[in-house]
Structure 1
Amino acid sequence: MIMTEFQQRRAAFFSKMQNNSLAIFPAGQEQIRSKDTEYPFRQNSDFYYLTGFNEQDAYLLIINKSGEQQSILFNRKKDKNAEIWHGLRTGQDAAVSKLGFDSAYDVLEFEEQLPGLIAELPVLYYPVFNAPELERSLSSVINLMRADRSKGQVAPAQFIDSLPIVHEMRLIKSESEIELMSDAAEISAAGHIRAMQLCHSGMWEYQLEAEIRYEFAQQGAPNVAYNSIVAGGQNACILHYTDNNRQLRDGDLVLIDAGAEYKGYAGDITRTFPINGVFSEHQAKLYQLVLDIQVSAINQINPGVALADINKNVVKKLVDGLLELGILEGDSEQLIKDQAYKAFYMHGIGHYLGLDVHDVGLYGTAENPRLLEAGMVITIEPGLYISEDADVDDVWKGIGIRIEDDVLVTQSGAEVLSADVPKSINEIEALMANVSVYG
């Protein structure tokens, strides 16, 4: 039998388990929005990575018993009445025949069956401090087993956090994941292009956001990867601005940080452009500085390079640029040492991207930063934020700029997955001058 990619991932996790051990992974749970309404369900990323199963209230068990692998799913049983009200369920038979689990049981039997499954397996893997409901079940079951040894059941005595193992697996993307992330980036790009073409003064930020989400849905991605930022003028200096409730003004820039979620994978693109379609002289100077820095950072990407080192080069270029424009004064090296740039650039150069927009994986330490590897997907997103109360000439105040792309680390460098969105001044202005609606 040819294993699916999800089965291969379970087998890969199994290969990292100690002999005679069991791992438990919980699915996501329904979250109440208010009273009897719920937020749209979104599966737990680790659970989805190992199962491809997109229903709530489930558990995956991977068992290593004397070197033999077994994968068990506990999920909701078929229920005609419940399915009339809330939608179809996979049930147990299809979980085995279609999803490749060795066996499947009703999730309501989970605590009842757990003692028999973990007995005589001294090691238990689970997401420590990350799954409260599961931890309550484990605490109840294991303490009962410890208290009643007359049944001959010995509870696990060693507990290992499963998250570092799964997160290392998720960090390097497979070929199929890269294809999905390319699709997510292309759909995200289409949304940004639509926003550029439809933007005009007098629009409300939420109206522009609606155009982006419309394009995502039209392209096959009904969900966003995170709450979109549509920030006109001074709002762009608020890094995680999501109110999106102000009117766009002629002469201001608008910063849009938005990404589609496609089949579980996140796009994450930021573009900044003039609401009226034309950069002013001072906007263009700041924008070109950020763009030059971003392009330079992407060109530095290679296996064996640390993001932290790229960020150091970004800071040097930013400080030199701000000195040239007269926004900073003094000695470049001393300004960097004093972190004077943090008044205008407060975040890092990028982050991992995958099933989560800020995807999992270790970055290392300041003394020993992690090096990039082929198959990682990262963002490169330098920014420059000059608030209204900054101690600078008035011509620079209230301008926030960020340019962000999704980048695959390859064996020989980098591939920009989100390259469809224009980002040079000439390209943006030309696109915005075209009055035709993006189709």
Structure 2
Amino acid sequence: MNTADFSQARQGLLQAMLPNSIAIVPAASLVTRSRDTHFPFRQDSYFQYLTGFPEPDAYLVLSNHTEYANGLSVLFCLDKDPEQEIWHGRRYGPKQAKKHFKLDMAFPLEELDGLLFDLIDCHQHLYFAQGHNPSTDELVFEILEGLRCAHKQGRRAPSCIIDIRVILDEMRLIKSDAEIQIIRKAADIACKAHIRAMTFSQAGKNEYHLEAEIHHEFAMHGAKHPAYGTIVGSGGNACILHYTENNQALRQGDLVLIDAGCELQGYAADITRTFPVSGTFSKEQRQLYEIVLEAQLQAFTLIKPNNTIQQANDLVKEVITQGLIDLGILKGELAENIEQQTYREYYMHGLSHWLGLDVHDVGHHKVDGQDRALKPGMVLTVEPGIYIAPDAKVDRKWQGIGIRIEDNLLITENGYENLTQAAPKTIAEIEDIMANGK
């Protein structure tokens, strides 16, 4: 991503806003980890999308008032401070930030209150994400009240407040070429990490050993952080959808489910692979795995423009349900089981979510009450699964088996591109790579 990409995003927002509007977008702040230490800083996704500015405690203000022919972009950020920079790292400061990020104006953060009062004045509409950042809510409503009380001085507060996310979520749903390139690279790194975990796995090691191998591979390729809490669930732990303890020993004969993706320049990958600790699937594991894989491959046939995620999910439910009936885990006819949703005991989550700056990225799945049609530029996951809990009322041979297969798909003009196909997922591929290490 370069400054032109962020400028284009800002222009897109300015054009989508109603005439005579102003928008306020805050950056993230540091979050305390314990006492006087902080979690690694992660920029707010909306702010990142519009600026690429990597520092905390900043504000972006945009206006399309008629007096600004091409719109106005203003950044408020922390000022240069040699003493603070010795302790906490270099800052851009307003002067460098304005030049580097191609903004119209930039000011020190301490000037925000006074200047924001003047900037908001006489705009008809105000766009911001109320409730997203409590300190911004407090600041904005204080300024609005001040403008309302200053009407005798010719001041005028915006008469309409609009949720900026309505526009930004739609913009972020369709990825630009630059965003796609980053997501594609993040996906490639995540594929390498899953392969590394497969080749490292063996009985007696711990789930956290695989987690460490994955995170090491991320970092070695420039993705310093995972996009979400890495899941390494072996045996019955694979049946806990968001299992992150990752502290149990790997046992011979068990499967291990790994749901892991890196974050690169703010963009997420999200891959799940399930494989045998020992390198070889048992008969029962193989039978269930083939159902999940077939369900995913069938879903892929419906992932294309103008179709919906729900269409694919409906097909996945049928494939999984019929597979469970064939194995005797479910009883009765397919239609009856679908109607009664008996599959939900073993497949209880949705098939897909959007992917981008957030691992569960923004964008509604329904529009005007109807399932959203897929369009080129969307990026989504496809992740069917079967989870048979250790205490499930089924034949013992099925108990404690959890399987999920998840890929990241880019919608193209004619179908899709599987961004994560490099991560092995057929039984033959998995067994081969675990046996030969390549």
TM-score by length of 2: 0.97
Amino acid paired to 2:159: A
2:427 is matched with which residue?
Answer: 425
Provide the residue aligned with 2:254 in structure 1: 252
- The aligned counterpart of 1:216 is 218
Contact kept, 8 Å, 2:255 with 2:277, in 1: the verdict is yes
How much does 1:147 deviate? 2.4
- CA 1:365 to 1:126, structure 2 compared with 1: closer, same or farther past 3 Å? closer
- Give, as a single letter, the amino acid of the residue that structure 2 aligns with 1:96: K
State the partner residue of 1:62: 62
**Partner residue of 2:37?**
37
By how many angstroms is 1:151 displaced? 2.9
Aligned partners of 1:115 and 1:153 also within 8 Å:
no
Residue 155 of structure 1: CA displacement? 1.4
Aligned residue number for residue 195 of structure 1: 197
Q: Aligned letter for 1:319?
A: T
- Which range is displaced more, 316-325 or 291-300? 291-300
Alignment match of 1:283 (pick from 282, 285, 288) = 285
Could you tell me whether the CA contact under 8 Å between 2:173 and 2:378 is conserved in 1?
yes
What is the alpha-carbon distance in structure 2 between the residues aligned to residue 309 and residue 151 of structure 1?
58
CA drift of 1:176 comes to 1.1
Seen in structure 2, the aligned counterparts of structure 1 residues 397 and 414 have a Cα distance that, compared at 3 Å, is same
CA contact (8 A) 1:315 1:336 kept: yes
Q: Deviations over 1:158-198 (max 9, x none)?
A: 10000010010000011111111110000000000000000
CA contact (8 A) 2:238 2:403 kept: yes
1:410 maps to what in 2? Answer: 412
Are the counterparts in 2 of residues 407 and 416 from structure 1 also a CA contact under 8 Å?
yes
> In the alignment, is the contact (CA less than 8 A) between 2:218 and 2:262 conserved in 1?
yes
What secondary structure does 2:61 align onto?
Answer: strand
Partner residue of 1:75?
77
Amino acid at match of 2:142: S
1:85 matched residue in structure 2: 87
Could you report, residue by residue, the CA deviation over 1:24-45 in whole angstroms, capped at 9, with x for unpaired residues? Answer: 0000111001110101110000
Aligned mates of 1:400, 1:99 — CA distance in 2: 47
CA drift at 1:365: 6.4
Gaps of 5+ in 1: none
Match of 2:7 in 1: 7
Shift of 1:384: 0.2
Q: Which residue of 1 aligns with 2:207?
A: 205
The 3 A distance-change label for structure 1 pair 240 and 365 is farther
Paired amino acid for 1:413: G
Determine the C-alpha separation between the residues in 2 that align with 1:365 and 1:52.
29
Number of residue equivalences: 435
Q: What amino acid is aligned across from residue 185 of structure 1 in structure 2? A: A
TM-align CA RMSD: 1.3
| Aligned residue number for residue 153 of structure 1 | 155
Aligned residue number for residue 239 of structure 2: 237
Identity over the aligned pairs, expressed in percent? 47
Mark the CA change 1:365 to 1:173 in structure 2 (over 3 Å): closer, same or farther. Answer: closer
Q: Which residue of 1 aligns with 2:52?
A: 52
One-letter amino acid of the counterpart of residue 34, structure 2: S
Partner of 1:165: 167
Q: Could you report, residue by residue, the CA deviation over 1:112-167 in whole angstroms, capped at 9, with x for unpaired residues?
A: 11111111112100012212110000121111222233432111121000001001
Query: Which range moved further: 151-160 or 326-335?
Result: 151-160
SS at match of 2:430: helix
Is residue 264 from structure 1 mapped to residue 266 from structure 2 by the alignment? yes
| Contact kept? 1:25, 1:61, Cα under 8 Å | yes
Secondary structure of residue in 2 paired with 1:145: helix
* Corresponding letter in the other structure for 1:362: H
For the residue of structure 2 that corresponds to 1:333, the secondary structure is helix
Name the SS of the counterpart of 2:424 in structure 1: coil
**Whole-Å Cα distance in 2 between the matches of residues 294 and 372 of structure 1?**
17
Matched position secondary structure for 2:371:
coil
Aligned to 1:177: 179
Instruction: Give the secondary structure class of the aligned counterpart of 2:394.
Output: coil
Letter in structure 2 aligned against 1:304: N
Superposed CA offset, 1:383-425 (max 9, x none): 0000011111100000000000011111111110001111000
Q: One-letter code of the match for 1:359?
A: D
Mapped to 1, the partners of 2:181 and 2:117 lie a distance apart of: 41
Amino acid at match of 1:46: Y
CA distance in 1, matches of 2:368, 2:382: 19
